[in-house]
Amino acid sequence: MPINPDAVGSTSPAATSSWTSKDSLLYALGVGAGVDDLAFTTENSINITQRALPTMVVTIADASGVFSEIGSFNPAMLVHGEQRITLHRELPVAGSATTVGEITAIYDKGKGAVIEVTGRASDPETGAPLFDTVMTAFIRGEGGWGGDRGPSGPQNVAPNREPDHIVLLQTSPDQALLYRLSGDRNPLHSDPSFAAFAGFDRPILHGLCTYGFAGRALLGSLCDGDPARFTHMEGRFSSPVFPGEQLTVRIWNTGDGEAVYTTSGADGRVVIDSGLARYS
């Protein structure tokens, strides 16, 4: 059957996942942290306490199981459109989370459908909220039923002035091979033959890896590297990135603990737009 717009409000069964100190270290390396970031890349450095990067929450709680509630579609037509995270407390370097996924919106874009999935993660012992994730997926060829088109136009537009921070970050040629060890084994990011089938001359970097690079820039520029101060991040994936590209993150402080940002590739094209961060 086609996309069912009445699936809004459907939820997945609660699922508990766990992560270790090693997972936190591996994720940090996967998004480019290194010898200058020992709090995130080592667990036994003298006078340094290990901490987890806030964006690692995207690898912990998988709410995608709720997609089974929206009807049938060709997975090859699905593109990750946007990602938002909200942390209710600092993410520990090891722990467990119980997550419930919910279809929170379905929009008819004519040539496709936009599905919004929200994952709400809580402490399995106390029930206290840990973090929320919101991802939107654009599914080509599944629109046209006459439903609500949803929000449109640019969101979180940068001020018409020079950014307050510009951060240059270099991805490595094997960045995707390292990042995939945090869970996303899609061969689009590792197999040249598979990437060619998808229309790319070589494997592309995971969008959420680029997201993690941007998160590191925001953490350092806005929170002085303190993940306890990092509370929210969102952005829209507007262009793929190839491993080995340099990324430029431009950040504009907008007041009251908020900032907008963009991320650009080596040739200046914007790869993440509509970026917003909140911090304390």
Q: What is the pLDDT of residue 92?
A: 98
Q: Respond yes or no: is residue 207 known to be catalytic.
A: yes
Strand residue runs (E) in the chain = 15-19, 78-87, 95-108, 112-122, 129-140, 165-170, 230-237, 246-255, 258-264, 270-279
> Has 184 been annotated as catalytic?
yes
Give the DSSP letter of residue 249: E
Q: Is 101 a catalytic residue?
A: no
pLDDT at 14: 94
Identify the active-site residue in 204, 220, 235, 273: 204
Angle at 132 between CA 269 and CA 34, to 5 degrees: 55
pTM: 0.96
Q: What is the C-alpha to C-alpha distance for residues 251 and 164, in angstroms, rounded to an integer?
A: 6
10-residue mean pLDDT series, the chain (280 residues): 87 95 98 98 98 98 86 86 98 97 96 96 97 95 92 89 98 98 95 92 97 98 98 97 98 96 98 98
Q: Which of 30, 81, 143, 207 is catalytic?
A: 207
In order of their start, the domains of the chain are 5-140 (3.10.129.10), 165-279 (3.10.129.10)
Among 81, 189, 251, 273, the active-site one is 189
60 is catalytic: no
Q: Name 270's bridge partners.
A: 264
List strands edge to edge, sheet with 15-19: 15-19, 95-108, 112-122, 129-140, 78-87, 230-237, 270-279, 258-264, 246-255, 165-170
Q: Which one is catalytic: 37, 108, 184, 273?
A: 184
* Residue 1 confidence (pLDDT): 46
